[in-house]
């Protein structure tokens, strides 16, 4: 369903003009009570509780992070918001406010920008966060830059706190987005549940805070790939992590895709990112909250192994 706009259906960004488009975009972003000054001035002003702010930034580039023929503008909006909201989740916090920079070709349909903004706002509404500012400029390729601000009600959970003897646990879908991407890459559109998971990840937004309150020793969101992100925790904590792939409950749609593409479905779970599952370590199995699955263990040493052995397949995603 398209957002209603004051522009003709085939209008481009160039037709709409910078200020007309900004005005229409701002109308799509409701402002929360923490917003003292919203979009439209040199800067936004936000009320901050707890004496600190948690901040993260991410870029999405067309052709690299999304394709307009594989996902709707609204889907891209959901994904762009989700990957940023998830970074605050991974600190054990809650996002409150975001800024969006949109660089786009003059020929881009206004409707794309408006639908993107609507999807973005809808995803933010899931956690009660507001879009408080942004920038709009012309470029050859769509580049979306998002910065997210939030807060924690307890000490933020870092990547560096895992200790030998801890257990590794995961919360949220893992490998679904990678499975959906593999499907789309072969020109298919099903299993639809995986394609939808790629288009609109469903990060477990409450899980970060709950894990922090339960005493998680380290936490990260899975965006580079499970093994790659487990590796970041291992490196920053100065420990070794063993992932127990044999403990994984491989969901049925991944079995189906594995069979169709001739791939071991466990690969999607080990190297996939972008579901924005949370990966955390806890001092013991007893400390792991409901909704989390124990999938590994922490020991003295360094690096990541799978079922006690080095992993030969791809571990994740790098940008260069």
> Which parts of 217-236 interact with its own copies (CB under 8 A)?
219-221, 236
Measured CA distances, 1 to 91, 114, 115, 273 (Å): 34, 12, 9, 28
Q: Which is nearer to its own copies, 156 or 165 (CB)?
A: 156
Q: Does 259 bind its own copies (CB under 8 A)?
A: no
> Which CB atom, from 99 or from 305, has the smaller least distance to its own copies?
99
Question: How many residues touch its own copies (CB under 8 A)?
Answer: 72
Kind of pairing between the strands at 293-299 and 240-243? antiparallel
How many angstroms separate the CA atoms of 287 and 276, rounded?
22
Token digits for 38? 């919203």
Of the candidate residues 99, 217, 281, 305, the single one contacting its own copies (CB under 8 A)? 99
Min. distance of Cβ 298 from its own copies in angstroms? 18
Residue 260 binds to its own copies (criterion: CB under 8 A) = no
* Contact call for residue 32 and its own copies (CB under 8 A): no
Cα–Cα separations (whole angstroms), residue 250 to 230, 244, 271: 19, 13, 14
Q: Does 103 bind its own copies (CB under 8 A)?
A: yes
The reply to whether 42 sits near its own copies by the rule CB under 8 A is: yes
| Residue 53-92 contact track with its own copies, rule CB under 8 A, x = bound | xxxxxxx-x-xxx---------------------xx-xx-
Q: Applying CB under 8 A, does 18 fall inside the site for its own copies?
A: yes
**Out of 1, 19, 186, 187, the residue judged to bind its own copies by CB under 8 A:** 19
57 is in an annotated binding site: yes
d(CA 84, CA 256): 30
Looking at residue 246, what DSSP letter applies? G
Could you say which residues in the range 137-166 bind its own copies, by CB under 8 A? 137-141, 143, 145, 147-150, 152, 156, 158-160
Closest contact distance (angstroms) between CB of 245 and its own copies is: 24
CA distance from start to end of the chain: 37
Of the candidates 3, 16, 121, 124, which one interacts with its own copies according to CB under 8 A? Answer: 16
User: Which of 81, 58, 318 is closest to 200 using CA atoms?
Assistant: 81
Residue 103, C-beta contacts closer than 8 angstroms, at least 6 positions apart: 137, 138, 139, 141, 142, 143, 144, 145
- Among the residue ranges 116-124, 132-140, 163-171, 173-181, the one whose residues contact its own copies (CB under 8 A): 132-140
**Which residue stretch of 9-17, 120-128, 176-184, 291-299 sits at the interface with its own copies (rule: CB under 8 A)?**
9-17
Q: Are 236 and 158 contacting, i.e. CB atoms less than 8 angstroms apart? A: yes
- In terms of CB distance, is 69 or 249 closer to its own copies? 69
Query: Pattern of binders to its own copies over 271-300, x per CB under 8 A?
Result: ------------------------------
What is the Rg, in whole angstroms, of the alpha carbon atoms belonging to the chain? 20
Residue corresponding to tokens 């879009």: 131
Three-class DSSP category at 232: helix
* Rounded CA separation 196/256 (Å): 15
Residue 186 within binding range of its own copies, rule CB under 8 A: no
How big is the CA angle at 92 (ends 292 and 224), to the nearest 5 degrees?
A: 70
> Residue ranges for the binding site?
42, 56-58, 65, 87, 134-135, 159, 221, 223-224, 274, 317
């Amino acid at each position: 369903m398209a957002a209603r706009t004051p522009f003709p259906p085939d209008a481009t960004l160039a037709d709409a003009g910078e200020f007309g488009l900004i005005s229409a975009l701002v109308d799509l972003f409701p402002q929360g009570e923490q917003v003292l000054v919203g979009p439209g001035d040199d800067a936004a002003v936000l009320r901050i509780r707890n004496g600190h702010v948690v901040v993260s930034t991410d870029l999405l580039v067309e052709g690299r992070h999304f394709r307009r023929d594989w996902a709707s503008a609204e889907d891209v909006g959901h994904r762009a918001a989700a990957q940023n909201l998830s970074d605050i989740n991974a600190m054990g916090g809650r996002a409150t406010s975001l800024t969006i920079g949109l660089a786009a070709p003059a020929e881009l349909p206004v409707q794309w920008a408006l639908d993107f903004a609507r999807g973005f706002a809808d995803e933010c509404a899931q956690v009660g966060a507001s879009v408080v500012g942004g920038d709009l400029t012309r470029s050859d390729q769509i580049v979306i830059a998002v910065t997210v601000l939030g807060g924690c009600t307890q000490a933020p959970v870092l990547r560096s706190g895992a200790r030998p003897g801890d257990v590794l646990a995961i919360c949220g879908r893992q490998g679904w987005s990678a499975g959906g991407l593999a499907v789309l890459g072969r020109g298919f559109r099903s299993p639809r549940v995986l394609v939808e998971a790629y288009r609109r990840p469903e990060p477990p937004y409450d899980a970060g805070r709950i894990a922090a309150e339960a005493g998680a020793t380290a936490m990260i969101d899975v965006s580079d790939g499970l093994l790659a992100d487990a590796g970041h925790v291992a490196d920053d904590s100065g420990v070794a992590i063993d992932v127990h792939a044999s403990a994984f409950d491989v969901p049925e749609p991944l079995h189906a895709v594995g069979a169709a593409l001739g791939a071991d479905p466990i690969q999607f779970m080990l190297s996939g990112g972008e579901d924005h599952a949370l990966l955390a370590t806890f001092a013991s199995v007893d400390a792991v909250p409901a909704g989390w699955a124990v999938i590994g263990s922490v020991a003295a040493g360094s690096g990541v192994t799978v079922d006690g052995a080095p992993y030969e397949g791809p571990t994740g995603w790098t940008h260069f």
